[in-house]
Amino acid sequence: TQWTDKERSMVSAIWEKINIDEIGPEVMARVLIVYPWTERYFGTFGDIFTTTAILNNAKVAAHGKVVLKALGKAVTDIDNIRTIYADLSRLHYEELQVDPDNFRLLADCIIIAVACKLRNTLDPQSQATLQKFLYAVVEALNSQYC
């Protein structure tokens, strides 16, 4: 993926406005509530069987922060997204056996969580750039699936 200077600064600007400790837990809860089949991968998280349980589950919240922190690496090294996530792609494929369709669903939940938070600040151009960025990460997470 090629990035213009404008896209680079836009991705950084959006990321600076995101509070990982707030958006991370929200994103993970959204994924589990909106796409309930994703629950199957998180057998070690305890009770995630109702909306209330998901929203109050500390492991869900902590994992949301882990995922968002991992995305932060791509923000600061946007030209090496594929390299950065090669190991993570292998982990999700070989060990976690996550169906790769779910990566895009998680990316979309990030866009929605960010949109709820930033409101008008996330104008169409910013949304397009955030989506381009997240889909580049999705592509990288797909890269080791064979």
Where along the sequence are the contacts to ligand HEM (CB under 6 A)?
38, 41-42, 44, 63, 66-67, 70-71, 88, 91-92, 96, 98, 102-103, 106-107, 137, 141
Nearer to ligand HEM, 96 or 116 (CB): 96
Q: How far is the CB of 8 from ligand HEM (least distance, A)?
A: 19
Q: How far is the CB of 123 from ligand HEM (least distance, A)?
A: 23
Q: How far is the CB of 70 from ligand HEM (least distance, A)?
A: 4
Query: What's the sign of the alpha-carbon dihedral 81, 83, 88, 92?
Result: positive
Q: How far is the CB of 63 from ligand HEM (least distance, A)?
A: 6
Query: What count of residues does the chain have?
Result: 146
Nearer to ligand HEM, 79 or 87 (CB): 87
Nearer to ligand HEM, 6 or 83 (CB): 83
Nearer to ligand HEM, 71 or 122 (CB): 71
DSSP of 36-97: GGGGGG-GGG---SSHHHHHT-HHHHHHHHHHHHHHHHHHHTGGGHHHHTHHHHHIIIIIS-
Contact 138, 81 (CB under 8 A): no
Q: What is the dihedral of CA 84, 107, 29, 38, to 10 degrees?
A: -90
